[in-house]
Structure 1
Amino acid sequence: MPLLDNHIAVVTGAGSGIGRAIAAGYAKEGARVVLLDVNGEAAAAAAKEIRAAGGRAESFALDVTKRGDCVAMAKQVAAEVGPVTILVNNAGIARRNGMLGADDAVINDWEDIISINLTGVFNVTHAFLAPLRANRGRIVNIGSIQSFVHLRTPSSPAYTASKHGVLGFTKALAAELGKDGVRVNAIGPGFIETPLNERVRASNPDLVKVFMDHTPLGRPGKPEDIVGPAIFLASDLSAYVSGSIVMVDGGYRTI
């Protein structure tokens, strides 16, 4: 039997990269997947691919920074799809600017990154909390190696703060929702090749080298490398796992 049969899974940031790969992986394991992305066309294309492969998928445009829209989306999904049992908070952005640049850039980075990477996780989780509690659901948040460390490369304090926040939110929510049978965990990706960092990879090979020099497996990750851990945390294979983070970083933190 597929590991996620009879589940309805919502994945944010599902139009590309890690979110798209997780949505496809969940569909292969039997879940009916709802793909949410600020780019509605990208989410629709990803959902179409899933359906073409025999899976079940719907897509909707959603900006996770807009709390009212998140609430409305939860109601729409409940009415048109059904009760959500799995939520993956994946939507996020990354900028590698420090604290000492122009004031406007520093402030914009902080406001944009925190609003998407951290407040967005809260907004979507809060909106879908009722069905998740009613159905002993599973929440998977996408953290980062920067949930623990500040990288050896120039890196935004806003991004680091946001991913520390995601891990803290994961632990706090796991403690609060455990009595309802809701499990809350996170995944900590390392350097994953996605459209989000494609431009940086092309223009800054020295940055890639720094990552690879500290990655024992010696290669960048692929979005597909996140799928197995995401399935594990959403399935009954992890029935006694909550408040944890599964690192998928090629061993980055060991060096």
Structure 2
Amino acid sequence: MPLLQNHIAVITGAGSGIGRAIAKGYASEGARVVLLDMNEQAAASVAGEIRDAGGKAESFLLDVTKREDCVAIARRVADKIGQVSILVNNAGIARRNGMLGAAEAVINDWEDIIAINLTGVFNVTHAFLEPLRAAKGRIVNIGSIQSFVHLKTPSSPAYTASKHGVLGFTKALAAELGKDGVRVNAIGPGFIETPLNEKVRASNPALAKVFVDHTPLGRAGTAEDIVGPAVFLASDLSAYVSGSIVMVDGGYRTV
């Protein structure tokens, strides 16, 4: 029997990269997936791919920074699709301007990154909280190696702060929602090749080399490398796992 049979799973940022891979992976394990993304066309395209492969998928436009829109989507999903039992908070952005850059850029980075990467996680989780509690559901938040460290390579303090916040939010929710049977965990990707960092990889191959050279497995990760841990944390295989972060970084943090 597929690991996620009879589950309805909502994935944010599902139009590309890690979110796309998780949505397809969940569908292949029997879940009915709901893809949410600011890029409505991209999410619809992935949903179409899933349906063409025999899976069940719907897609909706969502800006996770807009709290009222998150609430409206949760209601729409409940009315049209059913009770959500899995939520993956994946939507996020990354920028590499340091604190000593131009003031306007630094401030814009802080406001945009925190709004999407951290407040967005709160907004979507809060909107879907009641069906998740009713279903004794599972929440999977996408953190980072920067949930623990600030990289020596160029990276914004806002991104590091946001991913530290995601891990703290994960632990706080796990502690509070455990009595309801809701499990809350995170995944900590390392250097994963996705459209999010495609331009950086193309323009600065030396930066990519720094990551790979520091990684014991000797390669960058792919979005598909995140799927197995995401399925594990959403399935009954992890029935006694909550408040944890599964690192998917090729061993980066061990050296």
TM-score normalised to structure 2 length: 1.00
State the shift of 1:254 in Å: 1.0
- Mark the runs of 5 or more structure 1 residues left unpaired by the alignment: none
1:73-88 to 2 correspondences below 5 Å: 73-88=73-88
Corresponding residue number in structure 1 for 2:23: 23
State the shift of 1:196 in Å: 0.4
Corresponding residue number in structure 1 for 2:164: 164
Corresponding residue number in structure 1 for 2:100: 100
Corresponding residue number in structure 2 for 1:37: 37
Checking the alignment, whether the CA contact within 8 Å between 1:174 and 1:242 is kept in structure 2 is yes
Q: Residue by residue, what CA displacement relative to the aligned partner does 1:20-47 show, whole Å, maximum 9, x if unpaired? A: 0000000000000000000000000000
State the shift of 1:213 in Å: 1.3
Checking the alignment, whether the CA contact within 8 Å between 1:8 and 1:85 is kept in structure 2 is yes
CA distance in 1, matches of 2:59, 2:192: 24
Corresponding residue number in structure 2 for 1:132: 132
Checking the alignment, whether the CA contact within 8 Å between 1:183 and 1:243 is kept in structure 2 is yes
SS in 1 for 2:221: coil
CA distance in 2, matches of 1:30, 1:109: 38
SS in 2 for 1:41: helix
Checking the alignment, whether the CA contact within 8 Å between 1:152 and 1:210 is kept in structure 2 is no
CA distance in 1, matches of 2:154, 2:62: 31
Identical counterparts, % of pairs: 85
CA distance in 1, matches of 2:138, 2:197: 28
State the shift of 1:154 in Å: 1.5
CA distance in 1, matches of 2:121, 2:9: 15
- Mark the runs of 5 or more structure 2 residues left unpaired by the alignment: none
Corresponding residue number in structure 1 for 2:71: 71
Corresponding residue number in structure 2 for 1:193: 193
CA distance in 2, matches of 1:234, 1:200: 31
State the shift of 1:12 in Å: 0.1
SS in 2 for 1:218: coil
> Is 1:90 aligned to residue 118 of structure 2?
no
| Count of residues in Structure 1 that have an aligned counterpart in Structure 2 | 255
Corresponding residue number in structure 2 for 1:3: 3
Letter in 2 for 1:247: M
State the shift of 1:152 in Å: 2.0
CA distance in 2, matches of 1:158, 1:105: 11
CA distance in 2, matches of 1:115, 1:46: 25
State the shift of 1:54 in Å: 0.4
> Is 1:253 aligned to residue 245 of structure 2?
no
SS in 2 for 1:59: strand
